[in-house]
Amino acid sequence: MKPYVVTVTLNPAIDKTVIVDKLQIGGLNRVQSVRMDPGGKGINVARVLHQFGVPVTATGLIAGAQGQTLLQYLAVERITANFLTIAGETRTNLKVVDASSNITTEINEAGFVVGEKEINTFKIQLAKLLEGASYLVLSGSLPPQVEYGIYRELTVIAKSKNVKTILDADDEALFSGIQAAPFAIKPNIHELGKLAGREMADDQDIIHAAREIMEKGIELIIVSMGAQGAIILDREETYRVRTGSIVPQSTVGAGDSMVAVLAYSLLNQYSLAETAQWVTAAGTITASKPGTQVCSLVEVQQFLHNVQVERM
């Protein structure tokens, strides 16, 4: 198998993380520290994959001076980037961390407006990048005025290149995307409930709903449940995963780390049980970090023994 992954971020951002002693709504807040990172879910996936030694190309759309700054951040991290530059300006996402409670408040801009011409140009660019790839990761929000069906269309392009798609989206973008039967999806428990049209009462409800969705042609599903762990299943097996207790710092990037390490595990042909362990460890480690910092390979390896995997 060709160890090469392409990640797509259609609505990237500069993530600005500020830490305050105690967030005062409506009052003056003095900042302890500021951290700037390249942002967007696909970019986060690429950052983790790069740390894990997986050849990866981050692509998507960028605009303006902030877009160039984002590319500079990626260059510093030595991540291969091939973005389409369009008119407008790349957004800034503000993360305010309350040091007294470890609660992060996110304030995200909508992003640039993208026309049909730019989307069509990007599709052509993506098709070229997928030559020789093993996996395509589609994740994150869509810019204003971009049709919800874009992830479905990009999945079809990937299939034409014999590339497997991992989809991590929500709401209408997820509903539409699964119609093209991506290889894997990673809904959280709330997104799964929306897909199934009902609330999830327990693990058996989650498994039953996921099995229903797999009938659309999806081969693997990870249902993330925050501090409660995850359920991961393919056509043959189902695993319930729990982790040892950690002190959460920020959930930003935790799901992206899970997606990245899913691709890493698939490329390394891990069993589903091993994949469940690695994926959950990655999400947990990233959640223990402030701001938008992500897990490293060594950190995940050292945490694996804290992950309990139970076959259902």
Q: Answer whether residue 107 is part of any domain.
A: no
Catalytic choice (15, 37, 168, 256): 256
The domain in which residue 120 lies consists of: 40-87+112-311
pLDDT given at position 249:
65
Q: Is 171 a catalytic residue?
A: no
The CATH number of the domain where 285 resides is what?
3.40.1190.20
Place of tokens 């990937």: 158
Q: Is residue 122 part of a domain?
A: yes
Q: Is residue 22 part of a domain?
A: no
Q: What is the pTM of this model?
A: 0.92
User: For the segment 13-62, what is each residue's pLDDT rounded down to a tens digit?
Assistant: 998 989 999 999 999 999 999 988 888 999 999 999 999 999 999 999 99
5 found inside a domain: no
Quick: pLDDT tens for 259-285.
999 999 999 999 999 999 999 999 999
Tell me how long the chain is: 312
Distance of CA 229 to the CA centre of its chain: 16
Which of 185, 199, 304 is CA-nearest to residue 233?
185
Let me know if residue 13 belongs to a domain: no
Q: Does residue 58 sit within a domain? A: yes
Q: How do residues 150-197 score in pLDDT, each as one tens digit?
A: 999 999 999 999 999 999 998 899 999 999 999 999 999 999 999 888
Domain count, the chain: 1
Determine, yes or no, domain membership for 249: yes
Give the Cα separation of 175 and 173 in Å (integer): 6
What is residue 1's predicted lDDT score, i.e. its pLDDT? 45
The answer to whether residue 281 is domain-embedded is yes
